[in-house]
């Protein structure tokens, strides 16, 4: 199964893609907010994406932050093209910056890899 990872920011959208086996995430590109839906729809078609993992943007207390409305709009626009999966993304941009890879595509890679690591067939069971 092939996945697309998405980090929606206030100005740009980072996009990552998995390998064909759905085990490793790679940065793909950074999109403008205005063109993101059309471009992601094209990527889904061109690369045979089965599921889109979108960073769920929440405040530290777990409530939705202002970006979440945009996240839902993008998810709704892509629904029907691929399965839509929300993945918590707190601190993904900060983590990408900490690793010296501060692009939005790197943040999308962190979101996607986090999802893949937790949902791989041989992933350890999380009892938390």
Domains of the chain: 3-119 (3.30.420.140)
Confidence of residue 72 (pLDDT cuts 50, 70, 90): very high
pLDDT value at position 88? Answer: 85
Look up residue 51 and give its two tokens: 């599921």
Q: What is the pLDDT of residues 1-14, one digit of tens each?
A: 999 999 998 899 99
Residue 104 has pLDDT above 60, yes or no: yes
Number of residues that this document lists for the chain: 128
Residue 54 has pLDDT above 70, yes or no: yes
pLDDT value at position 93? Answer: 53
Helical H segments across 13-82, by residue range: 36-46, 68-78
Strands (E) across the chain are located at 3-8, 12-18, 25-32, 51-56, 83-88
């Amino acid at each position: 199964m092939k996945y697309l990872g998405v980090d929606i920011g206030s100005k740009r959208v980072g996009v990552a893609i998995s390998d064909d086996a759905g085990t490793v995430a790679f940065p793909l590109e950074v999109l403008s907010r205005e063109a993101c839906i059309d471009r992601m729809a094209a990527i889904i078609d061109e690369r045979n994406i089965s599921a889109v993992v979108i960073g769920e943007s929440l405040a530290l207390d777990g409530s939705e932050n202002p970006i979440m409305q945009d996240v839902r709009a993008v998810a709704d626009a892509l629904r029907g093209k691929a399965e839509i999966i929300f993945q918590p993304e707190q601190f993904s941009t900060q983590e990408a910056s900490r690793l010296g890879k501060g692009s939005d595509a790197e943040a999308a890679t962190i979101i996607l890899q986090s999802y893949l690591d937790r949902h791989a067939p041989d992933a350890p069971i999380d009892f938390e």
